[in-house]
């Protein structure tokens, strides 16, 4: 192969490797749109997680309120029983 033929072959290979700027812009646009849709999916997942957290916070608040109410009930029953025990002790001491 002559030097001229080899240069012609290399030129044609170089032309084949050259990329049209319009096709590069197309690839760029597709990559950016893909990234935008990926970000939209992530945003949607974050919104769903935020809603889940809000729901769990509401459940936790309800559980805290129930625990506080139950603690008040237990304290009331304990106070009532202590009062009854005090009264019973006073009655026993009065009989003795």
User: Average pLDDT, stretch 6-15?
Assistant: 82
Top pLDDT among 28 and 45 is at 45
> What is residue 2's DSSP assignment?
-
pLDDT tens figures, 52-64: 999 999 999 999 9
Q: What local confidence, expressed as pLDDT, does residue 76 receive?
A: 95
Place of tokens 């949607």: 44
- Supply the pLDDT for residue 51: 93
Reading the block at residue 69, the tokens are: 């109410």
- pLDDT score for 88: 92
Higher pLDDT, 41 or 24: 41
Confidence of residue 41 (pLDDT cuts 50, 70, 90): confident
Q: Where are the alpha helices (DSSP H) in the chain?
A: 3-17, 21-95
Using one digit for the tens of pLDDT, what is the confidence trace for 70-85? 999 999 999 999 999 9
Q: Could you tell me which residues come within 8 angstroms of residue 50 by beta carbon, excluding any fewer than 6 positions away?
A: none
**CA-only gyration radius of the chain, Å:** 41
Tokens describing residue 28: 């760029």
How far apart are alpha carbons 55 and 48 in whole angstroms?
11
């Amino acid at each position: 192969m002559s030097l001229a033929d080899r240069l012609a072959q290399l030129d044609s290979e170089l032309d084949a490797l050259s990329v049209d700027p319009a096709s590069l812009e197309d690839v760029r646009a597709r990559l950016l749109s893909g990234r935008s849709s990926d970000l939209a999916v992530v945003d949607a997942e974050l919104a769903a997680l935020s809603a889940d957290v809000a729901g769990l916070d509401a459940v936790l608040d309800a559980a805290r309120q129930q625990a506080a109410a139950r603690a008040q009930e237990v304290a009331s029953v304990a106070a009532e029983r202590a009062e009854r025990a005090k009264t019973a002790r006073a009655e026993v001491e009065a009989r003795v």
